[in-house]
Amino acid sequence: MNKRIFLDPLFKNNPVSVLALGICSALAVTVKMEPALVMALSVTLVTGFSGLILSMLRNTIPDRIRIIVQLVVIASLVILVDQILKAFAYPISKELSVFVGLIITNCIIMGRIEAFALHNKPFHAFVDGIANGLGYGIILVAVSFFRELFGSGTLMGYPLIPEKWYVSAGGFYENNGLFILPPMALIVVGLIVWVFNARNAKKDKKAWNK
C-alpha cells in the first residue's frame, strides 16, 4: 500500500503528464534548471505538508467551508516557503517572482487534498503529497533540462558546449534561441506526454496479454 502510494504518482499516474494538473505555474520557470529544481522542491514541500495538515483536520472541518480552509492552509504554507526563499536564496526568489505565489492555485495541491487527503490517514496523505510533488518535479526538471541544454548550452549554469564549437569562435554550433521562448516549453511537454502515454500503453498491452 505505502509503496504504491509513493510510486504511482511518479510515473503511472503522473499529475502533469497523465492527469494534466498543475501546469499553470510550472512551465514559466523551466528556462533554466536551477529555478526549476527550487520550484519543484517548494511544490513538493507544500503538497506534502498541506496533505498532512488537512488530513489531520479532516474530521473537524465542516464540508461546506472546506475549500476556504484548504486555501488558508495552502496560502500559509506558501507564504512560509516564499519568506524562506527570500531570506536564503534571494536571487532565485527574484527570478521565480510571482510564480512562488501561484503555487497556491496549483491544481495538484487542491486536487490531491480533495481526492486523497480528506479520506485518508495523515501519514498516507503526507506520502501521497510528497510523491505527487516529486512527479511534478520530474516533468519540470526534464523540461528545463532540454530547454537549458539546447537554449543556452549550459546545465545548472555550467557550460557544456565547448567554446570552440560556437560560430562566433569559428566553429559550427549555435544555441537554439527558440528554446528560451515560452512556446517551446509547451512543445517539449507535449513530446514528454507522448513518450509517457506510449510507454503506459505498451505496459497495459503486456498486462492484457498475460
Partner 1 sequence: MEQIIDIFVRSVFVENMIFAYFLGMCSYLAVSKTVKTASGLGLAVIFVLLITLPVNYLLDRYVLSPGALARINPEWANVDLGFLSYILFIAVIAAMVQLVEMVVEKFAPALYNNLGIFLPLIAVNCAILGGSLFMQERAYQNIWQVLAFALGSGLGWFLAIVSIAAIREKLSYSNIPAPMRGLGIAFIITGLMGIAFMSFMGIQF
Using CB under 8 A, list all residues that contact partner 1. Answer: 17, 20-28, 67-68, 71-72, 75-76, 78-79, 82-83, 97-98, 101-102, 104-107, 110, 181-187, 189-191, 193-194, 197-198, 201
CA distance 152 to 157: 9
Whose Cβ is closer to partner 1: residue 26's or residue 36's? 26
Other CB atoms within a 10 A radius of the CB of residue 47 amount to: 35
CA distance 76 to 196: 34
> In angstroms, what is the minimal distance from the CB of 163 to partner 1?
30
Whose Cβ is closer to partner 1: residue 103's or residue 127's? 103
> In angstroms, what is the minimal distance from the CB of 83 to partner 1?
6
One-letter identity of residue 173 = Y
> In angstroms, what is the minimal distance from the CB of 17 to partner 1?
8
Is the Cβ–Cβ distance between 12 and 131 less than 8 Å? no
Query: For 158, phi and psi rounded to 5 degrees?
Result: -90, 130
Whose Cβ is closer to partner 1: residue 30's or residue 44's? 30
Whose Cβ is closer to partner 1: residue 71's or residue 89's? 71
Alpha carbon 114 to chain centroid distance? 19
